[in-house]
Amino acid sequence: MSAISPAAVVVLAAGGGTRMKSNSLPKVLHEVCGRSLVGHAVAAAEELTPQQLVVVIGHLREKVQEHLAAHHPAARAVVQEEQKGTGHAVRTALEALAADGVELDGTVIVTTGDAPLLTGETLGSLAAAHTEQGNGVTVLTAVVPDPFGYGRILRDEADGAVAAIVEEKDASDAQRTIAEINSGVFAFDAKLLAEALSRVTTDNVQGEEYLTDTLEILRTAGHRVGAVVAADYRDILGINDRVQLAQARRLLNDRLLERAMRAGVTVVDPATTWIDVQVTFEPDAVVLPGTQLQGRTHLGEGCEVGPNSTLKDTRIGAGARVSNTTADSAEVGDFASAGPYAYLRPGARLARKAKVGTYVEVKNSELGEGAKVPHLSYIGDATIGEGSNIGAASVTVNYDGVHKHRTVIGAHCRTGSDNMFIAPVTVGDGAYTAAGSVIAVDVPPGALGVARAQQRNIPGWVERKRPGTASAAAAAAATEEAAEA
């Protein structure tokens, strides 16, 4: 990769993407592996640390601009009011910079906002080759298995320079056999680019300014037009419809999983495992089949996640176990466990060796070290101290219809099954609560909280109120048997 940062990177992201068949979402905001298409383009450009990073936007510009501001604030959005071609888009970007007194000197990279597999490494190789070869413009190309529909690269046999780019419809039968294609990504000398753009015309069927016209302009002026072949042809694949979107997602997912596995993560079944670009991990983590790792999820050393788990923006500690669990913005501490069939909502934090078991939902709550909620419970807006055990079918009743309230259960408590904790309420350290209790008053440390009605038995009720039923017959038989005994 070039050691010298380019003067600018211009990302072209103004198109409508009609083949995506989307009325409300611009093409460049469709996501692949946890990042928008334009986000991938900007992230790759940022690896070059350009002096200026410009994204040309147009279709549904407000949404794209808002997205860039939220996720890539260093990128400058420039509006192309009318989509008059790629050359016009680049000229719009340069004019916006010039209006702010920015005079570009050096290399300008022009890339597209719909090629999520294009890497910073590939862009860096393009920039480096452009400088080393002293080209006026350098084209990123690729040798593809099926070049149909792409512009073919015609090279000068003498020095290998690019002689022309011929489009599919204009190519001869011999030219259509050429497998090297134009990616639409270029490196220019900044001053030569500005000069060439000023000479581009709209004398074509579409009536647009084509960026590719600058190649012939520069070549005619005596400047060399070079080319760099992408090491992996898939780097340059653009997205035009949802089929290609899914194909790119599969390709990028495979790359991300390979990176994880080579870094020491065991992925048992890559075909059913999905991972986002910002997921991080430590050695010896194990990912079981059917698992999705989204957002900024982190896997600690030696942890095991899955099968069939979806983790988003969740941190899994070293040695932790998470099975058949959905987690969003949660934290599972070292050697803690969740699942099977647990739901960890935002703010759920499990300390070291804590346990959230089967059919347990936790939201905005902390479980102390070694605390356990093993079965069929809802823990919301609560703090549970270390070593405490919450009985099955317990609920922290946190919402009064207007406000949320907090339940505090101290350290080393034992609460009975089918408890309702009516927040705000506190159970002191070492306290117990009886099964079936509705705890609405604080329980002092070491006390037993009992809050349930006195049981009352009404003899003979079934035989009187449900005569002729199987229950009545069984009761009568039992009564007769007891009498005979």
User: For this structure, is 403 an active site residue?
Assistant: no
Buried b / exposed e over 242-266, threshold 16 CB at 10 Å, is eeebebbbebbbebbbeebeeeebe
Contact criterion met (CB below 8 Å) for 286 and 273 = no
Place of tokens 């219809």: 401
CA 216 to chain centre: 41
Alpha helices in 198-262 (DSSP H): 213-220, 242-262
Residue 269 corresponds to which tokens in the numbers above? Answer: 């079944």
Place of tokens 């147009």: 58
* Spatial separation of the C-alpha atoms in residues 186 and 437, rounded to whole Å: 71
213-220 and 190-197 helices cross at what angle (nearest 10)?
110
Place of tokens 């048992």: 268
Q: Which of 30, 59, 130, 375 is catalytic?
A: 375
Centre a 10 Å sphere on the Cβ of residue 18 and count the other Cβ atoms it contains. 11
* Spatial separation of the C-alpha atoms in residues 377 and 119, rounded to whole Å: 46
Say if strands 286-287 and 304-305 run parallel, antiparallel, or are unpaired: parallel
Contact criterion met (CB below 8 Å) for 226 and 137 = yes
Alpha helices in 437-469 (DSSP H): 461-465
* Spatial separation of the C-alpha atoms in residues 213 and 235, rounded to whole Å: 24
- Bridge partners of 407? 382, 425
Which amino acids are annotated catalytic? 375
